[in-house]
Amino acid sequence: MTDGVGVTKHRARRTAFIFLGSVAGLLVLALGTILTVGGIFVPAAYLQPWSATYYRQFADPRMQVVAQAVLAPSGHNMQPWTVHLDKTDARVLYLYTDPTRLTPAVDPLARQTLVSQGTFLAYLQVAAEHLGYSATFALFPNGSYDENNLKKSMSELPVARVTLAKDSDAKTDDYASLFLSDTNRSPYTSAPLTAAQTSDLSDLADGSAATLSILSDKRDMTTLGNFGKQGTLIETQYEAATKESDAVFHSTEQAKNTARSGFAVEGQGTSGFMKYFLQGLITLVPSVNDDAAGAKNAIALTAAGVDHTAAYGLISTPANTRTEQVEAGILYAQFSLRARTLGLVMQPLSQVLQEYPTMAAPYAAIHAQYAPDGQTIQMLVRMGTATTQYPESMRRDASALVHKP
């Protein structure tokens, strides 16, 4: 009798053990599959340009600065840059817009693409100064684009002629900031900007064709936060925009190593083990990241962000010429780099500044309130002190930017 009970108990324990063991085994197998699909064993070549020594593989100082300028922020992380090294003058390089890297749904006038030319130039300048060169720019040295033939113009007309000159006085305070992740989409702490920070940042606009306003009074905070939320809501309902973003979103390490531009889960603040887990999950169960889920996520992220923001920055230009767009980008990148040097972070909220029909009403409203003399607002950004560090995002190999005629 006793023996029978003992045997039964023993069998039940063994069955439970086998059952739990099988479940655990299946879970480990599932986790292993998800992480492997998510690319945990694939080296992230797309992060190489973030290494402090990456530029040293190039002997030509022009390529050394290009290799650091690729760290610049760009709309949709398209990195729409091509460079041409002057064969007759070893100090000179030309920057062109790459017309194969446009995002026409959200940026129908290619305005943000031109702002993104300016960010590249500002990063290049900081890299040059660190290496003991001054970098001077002539914008549109061969004339401005033919707007009726824009893509062709982008291929033919340089945005800038950049001249590097050895300069023993060259120096920069912002070099280390080049290597800190650019865009932080998380909620920020409640710490306001100090008067010294605001003054240091505001001074950057001295001598620029663009203006910079840093706003933190309660009314502006509410109004600009609402513009941010409204813009995100409208954009998530604009199918052409969501399709465009989906097309440049890459969910595996393999795909990221091929594209080295566009969006990935890092842009939502995901890193480490969770990055591989999420990437595997998205690949195996795409509905986890479908448009409905993406829209919900974007709206929630913007709402949390604007509710935890210390100040807003507005960069505007008197008109909206191509040169002014580039100047605005230069100022934006200088602003963003200096902010990081001062321990601050920022995130552009560009939706409300975009020029497609369903955004027309908030576009007009923000310009009526914040650009009453007919200026164009080129950048709207939220800023503050980070609560979490954001991971670095994909960057192209510098050699891939070089134009080979």
Between 211 and 393, CB nearer to ligand FMN: 393
Helix H or strand E segment including 386: none
Between 101 and 185, CB nearer to ligand FMN: 185
Closest distance to ligand FMN from the beta carbon of 315 (Å)? 10
Distances from the Cα of 357 to the Cα of 55, 234, 364, 367, 380, angstroms: 43, 11, 11, 15, 19
Q: Measured on CA atoms in the order 251, 253, 254, 259, is the torsion positive or negative?
A: positive
Between 112 and 375, CB nearer to ligand FMN: 112
Closest distance to ligand FMN from the beta carbon of 229 (Å)? 12
Closest distance to ligand FMN from the beta carbon of 227 (Å)? 12
Distances from the Cα of 229 to the Cα of 161, 209, 268, 300, 323, angstroms: 39, 29, 17, 9, 30
CA quadruple 100, 105, 111, 113: dihedral, nearest 10: -30
Beta strands across the sheet bearing 345-348: 211-215, 311-317, 376-384, 345-348
Closest distance to ligand FMN from the beta carbon of 170 (Å)? 25
Token duo for residue 359: 């955004």
Closest distance to ligand FMN from the beta carbon of 31 (Å)? 29
Token duo for residue 297: 């996520």
Residue 188's contacts (CB-CB under 8 Å, 6 or more residues apart) are 305, 308, 309, 310, 345, 382, 383, 384, 385, 386, 387
Between 163 and 236, CB nearer to ligand FMN: 236
Residues 347, 306: Cα–Cα separation, whole Å: 10
Closest distance to ligand FMN from the beta carbon of 109 (Å)? 12
Residue 353's contacts (CB-CB under 8 Å, 6 or more residues apart) are 231, 363, 366, 377, 378, 379, 380
Closest distance to ligand FMN from the beta carbon of 347 (Å)? 5
Specify the pairing of strand 133-139 against strand 81-85.
unpaired
Between 242 and 351, CB nearer to ligand FMN: 351
Instruction: Please give the residue ranges that form the binding site for ligand FMN (CB under 6 A).
Output: 73-75, 77, 112, 115-116, 119, 181-183, 185, 267, 347-351, 393
Closest distance to ligand FMN from the beta carbon of 196 (Å)? 25
Residues 311, 217: Cα–Cα separation, whole Å: 8
Angle between the N-to-C axes of helices 111-130 and 61-69, in degrees from 0 to 180, rounded to the nearest 10: 130
